[in-house]
Structure formats: C-alpha cells, structure tokens
Structure 1
Amino acid sequence: MSNHIILTTGIYDAIKDTLRRKKVSQPEEKRLAEELRKAKQVLRRELPDDVVTVDRKVTLKDHTRNFEHEYIFVATAKAKPAKNKYSILSDIALATVGYKVGDMIQWPFQDGERTIEILKVEAWEG
C-alpha cells in the first residue's frame, strides 16, 4: 500500500474545499485531512496512469461487502450516477483518489468501515 497519495493540485484544492464546507462525515474528514498532509502534488501530465483521479475508469473490489464494481470518476458537474459517472468528490471517489492499482484502503464510509482494493485504472474520454 502507498504511504502517500498522489494528486493534481486541482484535485487537492477541491478536496480541501470539500473539507472546509463540511461535506463529509467526521471520520472521513479526519482521514482526508491526514491524507492531504502526506499527499504528493503533481502536474496532471506527471500523474502516473495507474492512479485514481478525475476522468479515469476505475474497477474496485469491496472486500467488506464482497463485490466488484466499475466507476467512472468525473468532474462534479458531469456526474450522472445512473450512467455510472460519479463525482470525483463522491464518497467512493474520495476514498480512493490518489491511490494506485494494487492498493488496499480501509475507509470510514458513512455506513461503516470498509476495505476497498483498486483492481484497475484506465483513462476515460467522456
């Protein structure tokens, strides 16, 4: 597992703003603040292809609930959950953003702690 997440400055700032607006639960806020303190910020072109970020199709395995699901993470304005397009600031995106393929993440979701594994990350052209 990575000991720090890798984010573009834009995503870093968007997460900071989400925390400032208190849009997440207390345990998520604590965890995100901790993640951001250790985060490595890079330019978009320097972000590795296997890192979860905006405009990527991500396959996750939820080990707690024992299922796999593919998500497309997009800018908040383009989010359409019915079409499998989730905001980069949605719960599942915030839990995985900045992590890479192979990482296992323990995350304090609002419905309880879950273990998520990142199986695949692909570029997505909307």
Structure 2
Amino acid sequence: MQPHIIISSADLAAVEYQLERSKLPADYMFAIENELDRATIVSSKDLPHNVVAIGSQVTFEILDTQRRFTKTLCLPTDTNLFEDSISVFAPIGSALLGLSKGQCIKWQTQRGPRTVEIVKVKAKNLNPNLYQ
C-alpha cells in the first residue's frame, strides 16, 4: 500500500499543465496521473511545511543502498534553476511529491524496486509567483 500524499492545488495545476505538453511515454504519464489521483489536494497556504512540494529542497535516503541525497524538486522546465534539481517527471521525483518527513515509498527503478524515506523537507525556496 502506498503512503498518503498531500499536494497543493497550485502544484497539481502546474504538473497537469506540464503533463499535457509533455512527450512522455503513455505508461509513464499514466503512472504520474495515478499518483496525482490518490493525493489529497489542499490550498497552498494549507500545505504542511514538512510536505514535499514543487520547489521544496528534500533530503531523502534510499534505504536499500543507504545512500542519502538532497535535491530541489521542480518542474521539468525549471531544472536549470538549481544545481541540485530533480524533475517531478523523473521516477524518483514523482515518488517524492506529496510525501512528508518520515514517510517511505517504494518505487520501481531500472535496478528493481527501491524504498525511499523522506529525511528532511525545507519549504519552497522558489519565487512564490513562479508557479502561480
């Protein structure tokens, strides 16, 4: 069973807008849409600070390998804005969106299933008007 996720209505609109214009394979688009469909949607002001959102800097650990990473989650068109960027359309990026500190999720990689745990979430560090 996948963990509960929370997404802001602004992030949902931004991701859906980008999905409509993407050239992602149909099965991958379907997987992202399934993630979005199972989310609780809240207004941006009601999104808890410990939840991974577009623009959040998130520290996560891949439990299977005990490797830890810190990345800024962004839309595919904005990956050039941060040295540590990861696209929400990357497999791990879509897995991170909506999770909160302490939650774990399993996701499929080329090397097989992996489990990731959210260690720390730093609130959005983007221009607040960027995704409005």
User: Same-fold call, TM > 0.5?
Assistant: yes
**Does structure 1 retain, via aligned residues, the 8 Å contact 2:57–2:124?**
yes
Q: 1:47: which partner in 2?
A: 47
**Does structure 2 retain, via aligned residues, the 8 Å contact 1:80–1:86?**
no
- Percent identity over the alignment is 26
Q: 1:73: which partner in 2?
A: 73
Q: CA deviation at 1:51?
A: 0.5
Query: Which deviations, in whole Å up to 9, do the C-alpha atoms of 1:38-88 show, x marking residues without a partner?
Result: 211111111100001111110000012220010011233321398112223
Return 5+ residue gaps in structure 1 as ranges: none
**Matched AA of 1:23:** L
With over 3 angstroms needed to count, the CA separation of the structure-2 counterparts of 1:120 and 1:32, relative to structure 1, is: same
Q: 1:18: which partner in 2?
A: 19
Q: 1:115: which partner in 2?
A: 115
**Does structure 2 retain, via aligned residues, the 8 Å contact 1:61–1:69?**
yes
**1:99 has 2:99 as partner:** yes
Q: 2:129: which partner in 1?
A: none
Q: CA deviation at 1:114?
A: 0.6
**Does structure 1 retain, via aligned residues, the 8 Å contact 2:102–2:119?**
yes
Q: Give the paired residue count.
A: 125
TM-score of the pair, normalised by structure 2? 0.75
Counterpart-to-counterpart distance in 2, 1:67 and 1:81: 24
